[in-house]
Amino acid sequence: MNIASKRALKIGALALAATLAAATLTGCAKETTPTTGEATITVYSGRSEDLIADLLKDFTKETGIGVEVRYSDSASLAAQILEEGNNVQADVFFSQDAGALGAVAEAGAFKTINPDISNLVDAKYRSADNTWVGVSGRSRVFSYDPKQVSAADLPKSIFDLADPRWKGKIGIAPTNASFQSAVTAMRVLKGDDATAAWLKAMKTNAVLFEKNGQILEAVETGQIQAGLINHYYWYERAAEVGEDKMTSKMAWFQAGDAGNLINVAGIGVLSDKPEAQTFAKWLLSETAQTYFVEKTAEYSLTGIPAQDNLPALKDLPAAKIDLSALAPLAKTLELIRDAGLTD
């Protein structure tokens, strides 16, 4: 299959994914005034402005390269990239998750990232063909109230949450991209039938929220016993109120479980501008990696130690999955919708 045909197929799948997600994902696309610089790159960013605006300013300050940004959710931006084809208006795609990067890569839209850049990251956090590279990592976790859930009662697998024991006690965010990537991991590791059955059980058992932060708040205030979130939400709150003031704790499922997905935010290069490669390399610099560790409580992918109260990335009981396999999002959204978890 040629690049044009692959691109057409991916546009259809991503357009469906973007349409299904549009009502509840992170808002409409937003243009920003470019940061000042003699040379300029255009970035399509699935990462929100509040997370990376200061980071982009640091990039311009250090390199003199200006940045013009279009913010939206990663699935919609991936669909736009493929729709634009050879006339793509961006130099770089900065995605919130590996799934969207994989979809664009499969369609042949990315340039090759220089090996001296991609080799800065462990092979499991980048594509095998150097079309995209992860720049920060995050882990899915089980947040729980130890007053209501004892250590002995912690679920060993995410699939255990289908048990009626969790009815009305577990929080999920079915419209959130991180939840959707986690469901894709479940599909890859356990199959569509098992995942569809789990989602239907969640329709009965789960309390639905829009965002991870809302789930954590509900656990903290005793509204629910537990929830599925990204690790950094817990650490951000602990930094604000003090770890000793936290009601909730975090746990991981048994080693290798689909619920322990470690996903990445990552980057793919769309143009031949040398400044695009410069941006990719800079995101793996000590400055940028320290930013992810200190400002967003994420994991560095180049070896900078995590925050003191975080387990090391290498010690996490991660799901055994190729992150490129997270690309087929449309089927995941279909299963979530068919289970009645979204409109």
Binding site residues for Fe cation, as ranges?
232-233
What residue has token string 């992860």?
134
Name the nearest CA neighbour of 201 among 252, 154, 166, 253.
166
HSE (side-chain half, CA atoms, 13 Å) at 126: 25
Contact 307, 297 (CB under 8 A): yes
Binding site residues, as ranges?
232-233
